[in-house]
């Protein structure tokens, strides 16, 4: 059975299932409760800045849903220490941009303790974080910085493109014995879709062929999957059939799925809402050239944001983000 | 707090092992036999041992780049440590950690740490685990005076005090952050004063005196174990061998160092106290010295001939299966 839920509610449901099934799962972060006087009449909790964790404190109590001070480095470091000693924390980094003040617990602690200790410790930590543009939140609250975490050995990074995957990927992330960064793209936060009931996992490291074509491969992830799907619709009207591959997981990367669709179509366009340098799109392009060169009938093209901060004005922000139209133009220009 | 004869012998043996271990390492580095960055703990032995004498394997400690002393005090196998520093497969971290990341979670030792201040929130997290799982374990963090200028220190103390976590934050104030005297970069006279900002208890111990550290750490650890919250314990100490092996030590007055080394050595201090009180005989101590010396010779000999790691191990332990 399934029913329609937003991505935010699907994430909430995954958190509840994870907490119900494992008493070691705790949530901590800024405002994950978000309300100090829940006992008073007419007072409710916020449940996070966009309400994703709302309702969980009433069900699981304040020992398991912990409001932290606005101390991203301290809360992530604390979560790493808790994970290393027997809890299975889900920490919330409200916006991925805040990695700027708290990279060390991920870069030098969570990602490396197991390796440095010769395999003697597990860090079953999940870091949930809002990423990407689309809410006019401008340069410091709109970045897609998954290219940083995906490039760090020892971390996993996943990013859902729809509500059903958000639920299943988050459950898989929480139950993984490694630190997993779970990106919540703003572009899909309010997207509503069919979400299966009950407990299920979407495996980490496995891409999903979201649409079958055959003429060209469109590779996206997170918020660019709906863009690629719309582009595929537009292209179909012109007689071009596109494969749309949803990466779902940026680290580990399902290289075989990318090479398989490339082999089938001979042309590949990768769509990424992050900036173009040193990013996932470049990584996918490099993979195609490195391991899929013989399959290439056309150059690999990247559709990304420009090398600029995310602007505020809605008209600028829309122009900044990849669009289905840009994807279509790029495919047409492949010749 | 009364110590039994066995406890005293054990404390002395651990302090002597730390001192001898660090002296041997200095020799090995200068003889070109060891690589990497080494930061030696000689001079600060009373802090690690005075604190860890109250802890069991289920209690967690985190440490710093100057971490060998905390490992030995916490019961990490000395031969495994030596093999680690030689980069051998038999090392306690399989040769992947080295001096700055040496660890053994089976002994509750959650790692030396190459990032100044980074162990502090790890301890906070371990204390959160203890509190939520209601285990009565405590988490103890060792860090230097320099780390108290990091945001992680302040963020952690605030959270630990707010949540009344079973944690003890032990600052080893050795007077220098790397080469810069502490008073040049810290406006408070005593680091312990910083606890007041977080409504946290604090205490100051003579870090060169095992008995003073033992007493004050014991009180803090007991409070933590019994739900009475965290403590910031400042131990005033001194590093005998400089910041790292090869430190030219141009930045501190020779007379100052000589005074600490000759008049305040924690091992000599311990020996004179137990002798005057008639608690241990000199022969007990010399016997330990001999045993420690033999242990280290064996540890070095075994490490030198132990197998090197397989190159394929570069790719193992990156992720848990």
Whether A208-333 and A2-196 are alike in CATH topology: the answer is: yes
The model's confidence at residue B210, banded by pLDDT at 50, 70 and 90, is very high
Delimit the domains of chain A by residue range.
2-196, 208-333
Interchain CB distance below 8 Å, B156 and A117: no
**CA separation for the pair A142, A5 (Å, rounded):** 24
User: In a 3-state reduction of DSSP, which class is residue B88?
Assistant: coil
Q: A255 vs chain B: nearest CA distance in angstroms?
A: 18
The residue of chain B with its CA nearest to that of A124 is B320
- Is B111–A117 a contact, with Cβ atoms under 8 angstroms apart? yes
Q: Are A108 and B114 within 8 A, CB to CB?
A: yes
Q: Taking CB atoms and an 8 Å limit, are B105 and A63 in contact across chains?
A: no
Distance from the Cα of A162 to chain B's closest Cα (Å) equals: 27
- Do B122 and A73 lie within an 8 Å CB cutoff? no
**pLDDT digit string, tens, across residues B215-260:** 999 999 999 999 999 999 999 999 999 999 989 999 999 999 999 9
Hey, of A22, A29, A85, A249, which one would you mutate to test binding to chain B, going by the most B CBs within 10 A of its CB? A85
At B1, the pLDDT band (50, 70, 90 cuts) reads low
Question: Shortest Cα distance from A121 to chain B (angstroms)?
Answer: 7
The pLDDT, as a whole number, for residue A86 is 98
Does the complex come out with an ipTM higher than 0.90? yes
Q: How many other C-beta atoms are found inside a 10 Å radius of the C-beta of residue A198?
A: 9
Question: Between β-strands A242-246 and A216-220, what pairing exists: parallel, antiparallel or unpaired?
Answer: parallel
Any idea which fold A2-196 has? Rossmann fold (3.40.50)
Closest residue of chain A to B107, computed from CA coordinates: A120
The string of pLDDT tens digits covering residues A234-252 is 999 999 999 999 999 999 9
Which residue among A63, A76, A116 places its CB closest to the CB of B132? A63
A156 near B CB under 8 A:
yes
Q: Does residue A117 sit at the B interface (CB-CB below 8 Å)? A: yes
Does A156 contact B319 at a Cβ distance shorter than 8 Å? yes
Q: Which residues of A touch B77 (CB under 8 A)?
A: none
Question: Which residues lie closer than 8 Å to B33 by C-beta, 6 or more apart?
Answer: B304
Q: How far is B86 from chain A (nearest CA, A)?
A: 15
- A-chain CB neighbours of B120 within 8 Å are 77
Residue of A nearest to B319 (CA): A154
User: Quick check: A81 and B129 CB within 8 A?
Assistant: yes
Q: Does A76 touch chain B (CB under 8 A)?
A: yes
Substitution target in A28, A71, A116, A172 with the highest count of B β-carbons within 10 Å is: A116
pLDDT digits (tens, 9 = 90+) for B255-265: 999 999 999 99
pLDDT of chain A, 335 residues: tens digit per residue: 899 999 999 999 999 999 999 999 999 999 999 987 777 777 888 999 999 999 999 999 999 999 999 999 999 999 999 999 999 999 999 999 999 999 999 999 999 999 999 999 999 999 999 999 999 999 999 999 999 999 999 999 999 999 999 999 999 999 999 999 999 999 999 999 999 999 999 999 999 999 999 999 999 999 999 999 999 999 999 999 999 999 999 999 999 999 999 999 999 999 999 999 999 999 999 999 999 999 999 999 999 999 999 999 999 999 999 999 999 999 999 97
**Which residue is closest to A104 within chain B, CA to CA?**
B118
Q: B2 falls in which pLDDT band (50, 70, 90)? A: confident
Q: For chain A, first and last CA: distance in Å?
A: 44
Q: Does A62 touch chain B (CB under 8 A)?
A: no
Residue B167 has pLDDT above 90, yes or no: yes
Q: In what order do the strands lie in the sheet with B139-144?
A: B60-62, B139-144, B167-173, B231-236, B201-206
Q: For B172-199, b where at least 16 C-beta lie within 10 A, e where not — what string?
A: bbbbbbeeeebeeebeeeebbebbeebe
Range B146-156 average pLDDT: 97
Q: How far is B52 from chain A (nearest CA, A)?
A: 18
In B, minimum Cα distance to A61 occurs at: B132
Of the candidate CATH numbers 3.40.50.920, 3.40.50.300, 3.90.930.12, 3.30.390.30, the domain formed by A208-333 belongs to 3.40.50.920
Quote the pLDDT of residue B35: 85
d(CA A99, CA A48): 18
> Topology of domain B5-307, per CATH?
Rossmann fold (3.40.50)
Q: Mean per-residue pLDDT for B275-298? A: 97
Question: In this predicted model, what pLDDT tens digit does every residue of A20-43 receive, in sequence order?
Answer: 999 999 999 999 999 877 777 778
The 10s digit of each residue's pLDDT in A52-104 is: 999 999 999 999 999 999 999 999 999 999 999 999 999 999 999 999 999 99
Q: How far is CA B292 from the centre of its chain?
A: 18
A79 vs B60, B125, B320: nearest CB: B125
Cβ A78–B156 below 8 Å, yes or no? yes
Q: Does the annotation mark A141 as catalytic?
A: yes
Residue tagged 């309300």 (tokens):
A35
Partners of A101 on chain B (C-beta within 8 Å) are 151
* Cα B125 to Cα A78: distance, rounded to the nearest angstrom: 4
Choose among A69, A75, A80: nearest Cβ to B122.
A80
In Å, how far from its chain's centre is CA B222?
19
Interval B19-29: pLDDT, tens: 999 999 999 99
Instruction: Give Cα separations from A175 to A199, B96, B316 (angstroms).
Output: 12, 26, 21
Answer yes or no: do A74 and B318 touch at CB < 8 A: no
């Amino acid at each position: 059975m399934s029913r329609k839920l937003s991505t935010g509610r699907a994430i909430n449901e995954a958190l509840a299932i994870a907490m119900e099934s494992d008493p070691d799962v705790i949530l901590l972060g800024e405002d994950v409760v978000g309300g100090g006087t829940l006992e008073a009449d007419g007072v409710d909790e916020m449940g996070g800045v966009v309400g994703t964790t709302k309702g969980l404190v009433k069900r699981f109590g304040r020992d398991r849903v912990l409001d932290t001070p606005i101390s991203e480095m301290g809360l992530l470091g604390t979560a790493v220490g808790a994970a290393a000693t027997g809890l299975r924390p889900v920490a919330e980094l409200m916006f991925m941009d805040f990695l700027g003040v708290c990279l060390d617990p991920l870069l030098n602690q969570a990602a490396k303790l197991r390796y440095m200790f010769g395999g003697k410790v597990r860090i079953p930590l999940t870091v949930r974080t809002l990423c990407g543009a689309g809410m006019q939140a401008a340069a410091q609250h709109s970045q897609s910085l998954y290219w940083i975490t995906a490039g760090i050995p020892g971390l996993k990074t996943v990013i859902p493109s729809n509500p059903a995957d958000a639920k299943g990927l988050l459950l898989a992330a929480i139950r993984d014995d490694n630190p997993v960064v779970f990106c919540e793209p703003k572009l899909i936060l309010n997207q509503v879709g069919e979400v299966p009931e009950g407990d299920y996992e979407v495996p980490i490291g496995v891409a999903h062929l979201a649409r079958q074509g055959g003429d060209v491969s469109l590779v996206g992830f997170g918020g660019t999957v709906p863009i690629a799907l719309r582009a595929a619709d537009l292209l179909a009207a012109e007689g071009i059939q596109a494969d749309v591959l949803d990466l779902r997981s940026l680290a580990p990367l399902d290289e075989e799925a990318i090479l398989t669709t490339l082999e089938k179509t001979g042309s590949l366009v990768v769509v990424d809402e992050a900036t173009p340098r040193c990013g996932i799109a470049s990584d996918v392009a490099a993979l195609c050239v490195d391991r899929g060169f013989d399959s290439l009938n056309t150059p690999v093209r990247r559709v990304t944001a420009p090398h600029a901060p995310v602007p505020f004005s809605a008209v600028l922000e829309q122009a900044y983000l990849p669009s289905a139209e840009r994807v279509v133009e790029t495919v047409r220009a492949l010749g | 707090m009364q110590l039994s004869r066995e406890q005293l012998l054990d404390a002395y043996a651990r302090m002597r092992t730390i001192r001898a271990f660090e002296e041997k390492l200095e020799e090995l580095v200068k003889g070109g036999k060891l690589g990497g960055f080494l930061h030696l703990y000689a001079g600060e032995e009373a802090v690690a041992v005075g604190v860890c004498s109250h802890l069991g394997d289920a209690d967690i400690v985190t440490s710093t780049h100057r971490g060998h002393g905390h490992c030995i005090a916490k019961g990490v196998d000395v031969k495994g440590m030596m093999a680690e520093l030689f980069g051998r497969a038999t090392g306690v971290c399989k040769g992947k950690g080295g001096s700055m990341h040496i660890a053994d979670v089976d002994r509750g030792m959650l790692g030396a740490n190459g990032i100044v201040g980074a162990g502090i929130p790890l301890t906070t997290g371990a204390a959160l685990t203890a509190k939520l799982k209601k285990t009565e374990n405590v988490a103890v963090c060792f860090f230097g005076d320099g780390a108290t200028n990091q945001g992680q220190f302040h963020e952690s103390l605030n959270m630990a005090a707010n949540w009344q976590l079973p944690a003890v934050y032990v600052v080893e104030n050795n007077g220098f952050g790397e080469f810069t005297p502490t008073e040049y970069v810290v406006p408070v006279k005593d680091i312990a004063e910083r606890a007041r900002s977080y409504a946290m208890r604090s205490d100051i111990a003579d870090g060169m005196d095992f008995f003073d550290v033992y007493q004050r750490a014991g009180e803090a650890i007991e409070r933590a174990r019994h739900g009475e919250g965290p403590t910031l314990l400042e131990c005033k100490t001194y590093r005998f061998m400089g910041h790292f092996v090869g430190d030219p030590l141009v930045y501190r007055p020779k007379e100052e160092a000589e005074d600490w080394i000759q008049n305040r050595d924690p091992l000599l201090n311990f020996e004179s106290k137990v002798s005057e009180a008639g608690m241990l005989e000199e022969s007990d101590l010399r016997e330990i010295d001999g045993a420690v010396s033999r242990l280290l010779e064996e540890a070095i000999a075994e490490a030198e001939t132990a197998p090197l790691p397989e190159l394929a191990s570069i790719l193992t332990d990156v992720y848990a299966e």
